[in-house]
Amino acid sequence: MKKQITYLSIIISILLVSCNNHTSMNSITSGEIIKPKAPKAVGPPRILFIGNSHTEYYVSIPTLFQELCNANNKNVNVQQLITMGVSLDKVYYTNKTEANQNFSNIDKDGNYYDYVILQESTPIALTNLSMYRDNLKLFAEKIHKNSPDAAIYVYQNIPPLSYKNSEYDSYYKELRKNAILAAAFIKNAGLLKVGDAVKDAYQGKNGYIYLTNNKDNLRDGKNTLYLINDGGFLQAVLLYATIFDEKPIIPKKLILSTGTGDNDNMRKQEVTKAISNPKALEEIAFSNR
């Protein structure tokens, strides 16, 4: 399950971005985020996840989302294009044959894909708005050929820093602003507010406590912080609430990580034992839909 990726050079480049550049930008309010409208599907709607290890690493967001849908009698078809440690353009070129085949498929209702989640790499989302826009446009143009009305959600990245770091809030604001500005150039696109939800969890909304014995319950990693069980659960519930505009019934067991070591993997586990406070995380997710 463990994928050996070295992100140290990437994170160093991010940390060299001037704090003054961040604080000089005005944050954009949630009122300016428009929710995309999904097409009316004939049969199970299709949702496509496109991204890297923030979509699937210790936990799999597509898998968790599929499990939530199954538990709530939501018949959906979940697909993914995932490549570890790269930006969106490289996700495409790494999976070009498969991607082009998928994007050439047609459906009788006029939209092969009904929902698409586009998750850009953190360095691009933070420091290169022009490339961010171009990479989103690369996929949007290909998707729209046979899914002209697909609802596209741009993934709001999480700061690549510990919440204890004094720069966390500056990075959060910049990532949020860039995600909104990049999404504005894409037809029928909105924001999957992962960064907002994670920040709320860090701030203790709904009684959630992110630290246990000085260990972060949301993310883990040495050079890169990846979502672990609490964070993955939060993200999956957020997506469910965002798409269906309702809270999911949480099943007793979900496929979650047994740990963060090289010999750990994902398997079915009791939610009440594997997640520190599922009720609080569910409320945080719903409030950010």
**CATH number assigned to the domain comprising residue 74:** 3.40.50.1110
Using pLDDT thresholds of 50, 70 and 90, give the confidence band for residue 32.
low
The predicted structure's pLDDT at residue 223: 86
pLDDT above 80: residue 4: no
pLDDT at 5 over 90: no
In whole angstroms, give the CA distance from residue 27 to residue 190. Answer: 17
In a domain, 79, yes or no: yes
Residue 4 lies in a domain: no
Tens digit of each residue's pLDDT (9 = 90 or more) over 86-122: 999 999 999 999 999 999 999 999 999 999 999 999 9
Residues 181-207 have a mean pLDDT of: 97
Residue 172 within a domain: yes
In the block, which residue shows the tokens 């770091």? 165
Q: pLDDT band at 34, cuts 50/70/90?
A: confident
Looking at residue 237, its pLDDT comes to 98
Q: Is 21 a domain residue?
A: no
Cα dist from 95 to 106, 114, 118, 186, whole Å: 19, 20, 15, 22
Residues 239, 247: Cα–Cα separation, whole Å: 10
Q: What pLDDT is stored for residue 139 in this prediction?
A: 98
Transcribe 128-177 into DSSP letters: -HHHHHHHHHHHHHHHHHH-TTPEEEEE-PPPSS-TTSTTHHHHHHHHHH
pTM equals 0.89
Q: How far apart are CA 234 and CA 45, in angstroms?
A: 22
Query: What is the average per-residue pLDDT within 187-207?
Result: 98
Query: Can you give the pLDDT at residue 38?
Result: 96
Q: What are phi and psi of 95, to 5 degrees?
A: -115, 30
Predicted confidence (pLDDT) at residue 12 exceeds the cutoff of 50: no
pLDDT above 70: percentage of residues in the chain: 89
Whether 161 is in a domain gets the answer: yes
Residues of the chain by 3-state class (helix, strand, coil), percent to 5: 45, 15, 40
Both tokens assigned to 154: 């741009």
Name the pLDDT band for 33 (thresholds 50, 70, 90).
Answer: confident
| Predicted confidence band of residue 43 (pLDDT cuts 50, 70, 90) | very high
> Is it the case that residue 17 has pLDDT exceeding 60?
no
What's the per-residue H, E or C state across 190-258?
EEECHHHHHHHHHCCHHHCCCEECCEECCEECCCCCEECHHHHHHHHHHHHHHHHCCCCCCCCEEEEEC
pLDDT at 26 over 70: no
Mean pLDDT of the residues in the chain:
91
> How many Cβ atoms sit within 10 Å of the Cβ of residue 48?
25
Identify the pLDDT of residue 84. 95
29 assigned to some structural domain: no
| Structural domain span for residue 107 | 42-287
Domain count, the chain: 1
User: Is residue 35, in this structure, part of any structural domain at all?
Assistant: no
3, part of any domain: no
- Give the separation between CA 242 and CA 113, rounded to whole angstroms: 17
**Is residue 208 pLDDT above 90, yes or no?**
yes
Tell me the three state secondary structure of residue 1: coil
